[in-house]
């Protein structure tokens, strides 16, 4: 009867939707079934915080996600506030209950096999723009730079003697990123094609648009989305996905966290640790070899 009175209150006084009311019904009935299985003499009026916590443990152990558990606890909190206002209970057992912390979503990344297919097998076409588009994808994947950092790179920032790239990150903080021989050859080839087509460039930018000016973030984002759609079907296809792919690959192949932190230009390890939430063993199923373009 208490559940029905509460649901009537939600419907008639709070104007909750039928779907929300039905979800509340299911959540409350599940909790009632749980505590009565624990002790068939228990009633809503005598439930304490320990019983609620045992229910949380039970839900988590049976595979419920934190978001699902917190939704159920929200229903229970609303129910006990209702019971307090009706003087059915004197103490709210939910006042000292904390739900499980919501985990941050794991970053999207492209599998190594898909990146190899994109860079080694997919035909980008002929001419300057095709070469540039492929070069941009390769630079993102092998250096882990941000979108803003990539469009800000000038020719003078590429050191072919030391095989390193200077980028300007957040708060104008500069850092150097090493690159391998494969990227070195690709960059030289791209710059040769670019310089032949644009004898008089409007900018010192490494990556330029079809008119000879510095390429825009919007253009880069669109070409990345278009290129990734050739090898993956996931909804998120952005430059940041390629940055995630770089970091994930590096860590999975035993790069130290501090090293990846410096390469990515993170201010603290906390930002880099998101990539460790998926275990190395799980990632090894995806990444069998060391980073293919280091």
Q: Would you please indicate which residues are annotated as catalytic (active-site) residues?
A: 146, 170, 240, 243, 266, 275
Listed in sequence order, the residues at least 6 apart from 24 whose beta carbon sits closer than 8 Å to its beta carbon are 6, 7, 10, 16, 75, 78, 79
Per-position b or e across 32-60, b if 16+ CB within 10 A of its CB:
bebbeeeeeebebeebeeebbeebbeebe
Scan for tokens 């039928």, then name that residue: 18
164-168 vs 158-159, strand pairing mode = antiparallel
Pairwise CA distance, residues 263 & 266, whole Å: 8
Type and span of the H or E element at 167: strand 164-168
């Amino acid at each position: 009867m208490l559940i029905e009175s509460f649901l009537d209150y939600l419907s008639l006084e709070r104007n909750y939707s039928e779907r929300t009311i039905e979800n509340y019904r299911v959540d409350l009935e599940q909790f009632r079934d749980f505590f009565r299985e624990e002790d068939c003499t228990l009633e809503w009026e005598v439930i304490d915080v320990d019983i609620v916590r045992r229910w949380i443990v039970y839900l988590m152990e049976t595979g419920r996600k934190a978001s699902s558990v917190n939704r159920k606890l929200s229903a229970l909190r609303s129910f006990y506030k209702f019971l307090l206002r009706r003087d059915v209970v004197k103490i709210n057992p939910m006042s000292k209950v904390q739900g499980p912390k919501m985990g941050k979503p794991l970053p999207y990344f492209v599998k190594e096999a898909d990146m190899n297919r994109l860079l080694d097998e997919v035909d980008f076409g002929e001419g300057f723009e095709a070469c540039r588009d492929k070069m941009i994808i390769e630079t993102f994947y092998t250096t882990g730079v941000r979108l803003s950092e990539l469009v800000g790179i000038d020719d003078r920032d590429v050191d072919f003697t030391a095989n390193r790239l200077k980028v300007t990150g957040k708060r104008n903080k500069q850092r150097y990123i090493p690159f391998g021989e494969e990227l070195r050859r690709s960059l030289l080839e791209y710059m040769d094609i670019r310089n032949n087509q644009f004898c008089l460039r409007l900018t010192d930018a490494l990556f330029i648009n079809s008119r000879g000016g510095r390429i825009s973030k919007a253009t880069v984002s669109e070409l990345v989305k278009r290129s990734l759609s050739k090898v993956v079907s996931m909804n998120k296809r952005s430059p940041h996905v390629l940055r995630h792919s770089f970091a994930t690959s590096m860590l999975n192949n035993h790069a130290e966290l501090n090293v990846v932190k410096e390469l990515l230009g993170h201010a603290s390890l906390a930002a880099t640790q998101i990539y460790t939430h998926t275990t190395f063993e799980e990632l090894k199923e995806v990444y069998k070899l060391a980073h293919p373009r280091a």
